[in-house]
Structure 1
């Protein structure tokens, strides 16, 4: 529970107090989207079935409100992702970094999102999940596999017309790495 309280405290400190934002949790199936949403919601790890229908949660702490959508990641679910682009403030894109066999497929989906005109100004937080699994590639190799060698930078960076996009390696199960990513993306949500 301490981690969740700290997470919301950071968001409040960074200026998201009294703000509302809509986040899409996207990525291939089995990347950890639903698990992350569950951890953010109540701080607990649970076993989840694959997401076959879009789910929405409102996460609140004090006056900070996030409306989140977990749209699923199996192939047929990806067809509806575009239906949610219009009102999104940020994309959280999860990748199972322990499954290099699916990096090419994940890159294709990410490239399609990044090339969408509707998302041209939307910040992207890329989470390389499951780094706790032995044999997971380094962040450098992960970035290379997804074509993300040039990103915004992990600090507060003046954008000058560039879309914010950054990679953070994490383990949702071990509860580390993603809070830093959310702290980073919070500075780009208006």
Structure 2
């Protein structure tokens, strides 16, 4: 079942008014942000040039209209991420699970995002991409190396009675194999208001 089919089935009718959400796709360069966005939009795997400038795509997932923003992950471009934090409903943070040498750099960027007051109540979906490659870090390794052990809120439907708790979870995925990210988006969709 494709992600679009799942959302149509899982979300069901939401009444005459469509939900709208603004989602940011963030992460270091070469983590798979643009590939994932194109997969969600067209369900096709296409070779991409590195993202140079912020781009946005409108996606319809079930009854939710998503405005997804894709950003370059190059160090100089990361400074512009902050310009898009206004009225954001969720952040999808991608990590190249094979590039273990850059985990510390990825952790610094993620820590900065998680500590930014403008994103204090925004759900974070962390996707460890490229799990189809044999030496990729596992979900538990990513959670540990990114400093998220004990901070994630759990998979499945989490009742967040404490309003100070931010939905945050790590999912292993392979965008090229079309696996894992659907579960992540399913988890994230319960927090889009």
Q: Please, what TM-score do these two structures have when normalized by structure 1?
A: 0.94
* Structure 2 unaligned spans of 5+: none
Which residue of structure 2 aligns with residue 102 of structure 1?
A: 102
| Alpha-carbon distance between aligned partners in 2 of 1:63 and 1:6, rounded to the nearest angstrom | 11
Q: Does 1:9 align with 2:8?
A: yes
Which residue of structure 1 aligns with residue 157 of structure 2?
A: 156
| Alpha-carbon distance between aligned partners in 2 of 1:117 and 1:56, rounded to the nearest angstrom | 24
Which residue of structure 2 aligns with residue 54 of structure 1?
A: 54
Which residue of structure 2 aligns with residue 174 of structure 1?
A: 177
| Alpha-carbon distance between aligned partners in 2 of 1:96 and 1:85, rounded to the nearest angstrom | 23
* Structure 1 unaligned spans of 5+: none
Cα pair 1:126 1:165 within 8 Å, conserved: yes
- SS of 2:22's equivalent in the other structure is strand
Q: Does 1:188 align with 2:187?
A: no
Q: Which moved more, 1:93-102 or 1:54-63?
A: 54-63
Cα pair 2:12 2:62 within 8 Å, conserved: no
Cα pair 2:128 2:172 within 8 Å, conserved: yes
With over 3 angstroms needed to count, the CA separation of the structure-2 counterparts of 1:50 and 1:187, relative to structure 1, is: same
Root mean square deviation of aligned Cα: 1.7
**Larger proportion of helix:** 1
Question: Which 4+ residue blocks in structure 1 deviate beyond 4 angstroms?
Answer: 14-17
Q: Does 1:121 align with 2:124?
A: no
**Equivalent runs, 1:76-87 vs 2, <5 Å:** 76-87=76-87
Which residue of structure 1 aligns with residue 75 of structure 2?
A: 75
TM-superposition CA deviations, 1:104-152 (whole Å, max 9, x none): 0000000000000000000000000000011112211111100111210
With over 3 angstroms needed to count, the CA separation of the structure-2 counterparts of 1:15 and 1:149, relative to structure 1, is: farther
With over 3 angstroms needed to count, the CA separation of the structure-2 counterparts of 1:14 and 1:152, relative to structure 1, is: farther
TM-superposition CA deviations, 1:25-74 (whole Å, max 9, x none): 00000000000000000100000000010000000256421000001101
Q: Please, what TM-score do these two structures have when normalized by structure 2?
A: 0.93
- SS of 2:68's equivalent in the other structure is strand
Cα pair 2:4 2:62 within 8 Å, conserved: no
